[in-house]
Chain A
Amino acid sequence: MTARRRVAITGLGLVTPAGNDVASTWATLQSGRSMGGPITIFDASGFSTRIAAEVKNFDPRAVIDDRRLLKYANRSHAFALAAADQAFADAGVRPTPATSPRWGLAVGTGMMGMGWPELSSLGLAAGDGEDVDPERLLASDTGRDPMVFCRAQNAAGLALLGRRHGIGGYATSVHTACASGGQAIGTAMKLIRRGTVDCALAGGFDSMVNPVGLAGFCLLGAVSPDNDDPTHASRPFDATRNGFVLGEGAGFVVLEAWEHALARGARIYAELAGDGNSLSSYRITDSHPSGDGPIQAMRWALADADATPDDVDYVNAHGTSTPMNDRSESAAIHVVFGDGAGRVSVSSTKSMMGHLIAAAGAVEAAICALSIHHGVLPVNANYVNPDPDCELNLVTGQARPHAVRVALSNSLGFGGSNSCLAFRHPEFDGGRA
């Protein structure tokens, strides 16, 4: 088993509510500053929840020099293009015509559909109960607009990234709701391991900070209604938590076969060492309160990484700040770490940048790589009231300097998919001969 290829993380790119690049995002995550605020990108005044963590001051044209490409991009695609550009620049390697077939692409893609302007205009022009009138659809602006079609495709983000960077190998788009980003990065790791490609761009992108996305979560009562105190609304593991704060953005990593990275003298942030991928098969929205599902994901990720619970210094929790998720995930951490549960540091960075949905797992994977690289653990902000169901060694107050041998990142999705990624410090050799 140890003869298989190792996978290096050599480039990072982030566009998040905490900052529009890696450095600014990382600085925010160390400050413990929560980025929730009133929604500004549409009129949310009538919604029960009117707050979110938005990406601010993002001008696609300032960072992507291809107007034609941007024409096909919606907000989340633009985040993806910007973050992927950063990741390649950071890695100092990119596909060439000669290496292109050996480069893969795996992206966690959000739920696609029409934007609000198109949906509302179509509803008014051609809506017929909860259906469309085909005759009026034929004459509608939305029905005639090919851009609505192109931007709504699941493969739209993949197509934009592939074209911009000339990726010629295996390319895939996955969606397991809030686990999408983690599953995309796990998929890319496996593609390199099994020799399908040597290098990959992997990540996730999403923006559900729009009327339709917000509506879906409001209807489910999944988002915090604390409109008067948006910077404290996301408080994972706190006893008073009452829902997540919607975020948006993109995270991308450049992955390389270990020898490939070494051969070019690349800086290796961390080894992407393990993927644990389980299905809860319990309820659509929740894992079992016992932690069944997330438990297997964490155990399998550790085994896949040749690591034991004792090797783990940091868990970047899914920690959405919903009552059910945080309780189930805490239970799972206690089962996996047993007596060591008090030793391992845990934080949910969703406390500061909200829940990036299909991008969350990818952004948080990059954060784990940064934690290992810098030896610093980001904060679990807004934790004030202990919950006996969530007794964890949370990183509260200030970022915590701490050497990290192994880090785990959990992403637990609606639909029951659980992704746990395991990251090793490049020089940590515990568990390996």
Chain B
Amino acid sequence: MTAKPAVVVTGSGAICGSGRSPAAIVDALLEGRSALAPIATWDVAHWPRPIAAEIADYNAAVLAGDRKLLKLIRRTDVVGLYAAGEAVAEAGFVVYRGGLDEAAAARFSERTGLYVGSGGGTYQNQYDYFPLIRETGGELPGFGSELVSGVNPMWLLKSLPNNVLCHVGIRFGIKGPNACITNHSVSGMLAIVEGAAGIANGEADRAVAIGHDTPIEPQNVLYYHGAGLLAREMLRPFDESRDGSLMGEGAGALMLESDASARARGAAVLGRVLGAGHATESEGLLAIREDGDGPARAMRAALADAGIDRGDVGMIVAHGNGTPASDASEALAILDVFGANAPPVTGFKWAIGHLIAAAGAIETVLAFEALRRGVVPGIPTLERIDPAFAALPVSRTAARSRSDIALVLSRGFGGTDAALVVRAA
């Protein structure tokens, strides 16, 4: 058995309703400020579930940093580009490569990977066809023959689920191994997992990992409500009165790097990725096992992969999406794996909402920031813990982390569960 090469973090970026940097978002969490509020993007006066965490003062041109690009990308891509840009800038990637000779710079670009967790297609993508559909009465022959004059010729390119992969690659000249993961709300965490694995396996020396999603659109919100997944007013993870999740939007990004690469560049190390674990319950698209089998197996595998004992974990960042079934099974899994002496458990969705494909990425970014401060932010929307899992160490108020190690959980449709173990620098 050879030791796994160390994977470190040398840059991070985040944007969501609570702020535009990891520090600003964790400040908001610690101050008890939630970005969940009535949706402003459309009139929700008659809307059955009107609450979400939108990015305030969204300005696409400013966030994308390139007005011309807006013809080719959508809101979800804009936030992904923004977070990636922040992580790349903090890592000093472009400046460092600029100091290399041509051959070394080319190799540097080829030895840089790019891994993206993307929300993939949204319903709004297809609305570009509405004017022509109405004009032709939904009749296909007319729709086909008027297509070229009636629809943006760039429709397909603008709708690609892998647009962030494409445009971050072009912007920063990244040419190494890559993936675009469209796997519901484990996508963001899997982007980090695969990026770290690519580095550990020697396929790349560094990699940008991004999760991005903007799921707050009328049709999508309506379907989540129809599936019984959305809360009326507040997202209350692990509370006995919890009644569902609420959506957020944004992105999180990390620059991952081999220890050797970071040292050779003299880059400041923000933290490291220790290990990951995975399980799938495979009960169907929306079904979740009550016994927490999936998250329990994922957490045990992650601890084993990291080579640490459960007692080494200082804090747990739960998926905590606020739905009755997910929170209950997740709590049982945490108690099963960590026993009576579990470290402080928290979650961030009560404030930033559920960022779906971006959730695991931004929550890992925030976990690093919390570890850096040694603080486990509280869950102020928690009023009374569900007696079904009263021993779960969650709190309204902040606590000290027991160590510099955090375990982060993500759960997605299809019964997918992923756990990631990270350590502060």
Contact = CB atoms under 8 A, between A and B. Distances in A.
Contact of B47 (A100, A134, A277): A134
Given A175-B180, A176-B178, A293-B175, A124 B412 contact: no
B85 interface: no
Contacts of B165: 176, 279, 415-417
A137 B123 CA distance: 12
Interface string A227-242: 0000000000000000
Interface string B147-177: 1100111111101111101100110011111
A129 B174 CA distance: 38
B96 interface: no
The SS class assigned to the B binding surface is: mixed
B415 A284 contact: no
Given A155-B183, A216-B156, A137 B218 contact: yes
Contact of B174 (A45, A163, A281): A281
B140 A119 contact: no
B110 interface: yes
B222 interface: yes
Interface stretch (A6-14, A165-173, A327-335): A165-173
Contact of B125 (A113, A160, A175, A281): A113
11 contacts: A44-B144, A47-B144, A72-B284, A143-B219, A154-B119, A154-B183, A163-B284, A172-B186, A212-B129, A220-B153, A279-B176
Interface in A174-220: 174-177, 183, 187, 190, 193-194, 196, 211-212, 215-220
A219 to B, nearest CB: 5
A113 B123 contact: yes
Contacts of B110: 278, 296
Contact of A48 (B42, B147, B159): B147
Given A168-B282, A172-B190, A153 B184 contact: yes
Size range of the interface on B? 35 or more
Nearest to A170: B278
Residue among A123, A211, A414 with the highest chain B CB neighbour number at 10 A? A123
Contacts, number: 299
Nearest to A417: B178
Nearest to B122: A113
B361 to A, nearest CB: 15
Contacts of B203: 277, 300
A155 B414 contact: yes
Nearest to A156: B285
Contacts of B239: none
A413 B165 CA distance: 11
A144 interface: yes
A46 B160 contact: no
Chain A interface SS verdict (over half): mixed
Q: Which residue, B223, B226, B286, has most C-beta atoms of chain A within 10 A?
A: B223
Contacts of A100: 282
A152 B222 contact: no
A211 B144 contact: yes
Contact of B160 (A163, A168, A190, A284): A284
B416 interface: yes
Contact of A149 (B177, B223, B414): B223
Interface string B279-309: 1111111100000000001000000000000
Which residue of B143, B197, B414 has the most chain A CB atoms within 10 A of its CB atom? Answer: B414
Contact of A167 (B153, B170, B190, B282): B282
A66 B149 CA distance: 44
A167 to B, nearest CB: 6
A196 B201 CA distance: 13
B178 A279 contact: yes
B182 interface: yes
A319 to B, nearest CB: 20
A-side interface size class: 35 or more
B182 A175 contact: yes
Q: Nearest 7 pairs between A and B by C-beta? A: A46-B144, A216-B156, A127-B130, A123-B133, A159-B414, A162-B282, A149-B223
A128 B218 CA distance: 13
Nearest to A292: B175
A217 B148 CA distance: 11
B280 A134 contact: no
B31 interface: no
Nearest to A120: B138
B259 interface: no
B103 to A, nearest CB: 14
Contacts of B223: 143, 146, 148-149
A212 B138 CA distance: 12
B169 A281 contact: yes
Contact of A127 (B127, B222, B416): B127
Given A158-B183, A216-B156, A415-B160, 9 more contacts: A109-B120, A111-B121, A132-B218, A174-B179, A211-B143, A212-B126, A277-B179, A280-B175, A416-B169
Contacts of B68: none
B174 A43 contact: no
Nearest to B228: A146
A72 B285 contact: yes
A175 B123 contact: no
B141 A187 contact: no
A168 B289 CA distance: 12
Nearest to A211: B140
Nearest to B151: A219
A162 B414 contact: yes
Contacts of B99: none
A105 interface: yes
A111 B242 CA distance: 34
